């Protein structure tokens, strides 16, 4: 199985063909488990950096909130500081890392749903959810490489905001639409979409170019939607 997961990254066309023809959702649990395990390990290693980021966001949110009286902000900030840094190395902090890990299968499940609907609509045929889920799970394996590369850099640099895409341009404030959208245009994200398109092309018997167009369009639509949604709630909270 580990050989298959490595081959998905190094020889995606040949490997995805065997996955589409021979694998099912049970085998799909292996890459998901690997990604979840790395998410927990990364969270533990970067516990201090995560706490710093949470504190920075909390401090900015409370300081800029005009609905909170100035005389109360100091006390609230003090309580939040104790909570954030007190939890970072406690069981509550571990729950945060586990939650980060659980977000991966949830993300894959929703991506599978929208990918299946899009493929059935624009490519024809009737790919099953189980088959598309299997493809999606293996298509997310670039996230393993992302964790392996980024986590040491984030730890050594003491900076959790490491970009591998257009986010490095640094346009806009964090939480704004354009900033979130550019952060999403990422090398590893595109790698996932590329492998996904190969699997979809094999399942639906279409060219990789056609499948790539559909999957890339879905990916960009999702980026636009969630960037806009995040910007809306960020503005609402302020």
pLDDT tens string 17-64: 999 988 888 889 999 999 999 999 998 888 888 777 777 777 777 777
CA dist 43 and 213 (Å) reads 34
- Please give the model's pTM, rounded to 2 decimal places: 0.84
Q: What is the DSSP letter of 164?
A: S
Tokens of 83: 């909570």
CA dist 188 and 200 (Å) reads 18
Place of tokens 């889920």: 133
pLDDT tens string 119-134: 999 998 778 899 999 9
Q: Which of 108, 194, 180, 188 is nearest to 151 (CA)?
A: 188
Q: What is the DSSP letter of 168?
A: G
Model confidence band, residue 12 (pLDDT cutoffs 50, 70, 90): very high
């Amino acid at each position: 199985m580990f050989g298959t997961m490595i081959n998905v990254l190094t020889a995606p066309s040949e490997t995805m063909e065997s996955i589409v023809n021979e694998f099912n959702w049970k085998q799909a649990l292996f890459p998901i488990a690997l990604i979840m395990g790395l998410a927990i390990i990364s969270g533990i290693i970067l516990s201090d950096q995560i706490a710093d980021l949470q504190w920075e966001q909390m401090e900015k949110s409370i300081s800029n909130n005009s609905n909170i009286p100035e005389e109360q902000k100091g006390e609230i900030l003090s309580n939040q500081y104790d909570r954030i840094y007190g939890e970072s190395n406690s069981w509550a902090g571990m729950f945060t890392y586990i939650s980060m890990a659980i977000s991966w299968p949830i993300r894959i499940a929703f991506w599978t749903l929208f990918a299946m609907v899009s493929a059935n609509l624009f490519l024809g045929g009737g790919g099953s959810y189980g088959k598309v889920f299997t493809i999606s799970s293996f298509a997310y394996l670039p996230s393993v490489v992302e964790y392996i590369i980024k986590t040491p850099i984030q730890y050594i640099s003491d900076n959790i905001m490491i970009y591998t895409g257009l986010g490095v341009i640094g346009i806009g404030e964090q939480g704004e639409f354009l900033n979130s959208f550019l952060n999403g245009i990422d090398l590893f994200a595109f790698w996932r979409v590329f492998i996904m398109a190969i699997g979809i092309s094999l399942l639906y018997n279409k060219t990789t170019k056609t499948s790539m167009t559909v999957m890339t369009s879905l990916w960009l639509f999702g980026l636009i939607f969630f960037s806009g949604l995040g910007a809306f709630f960020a503005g609402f909270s302020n």
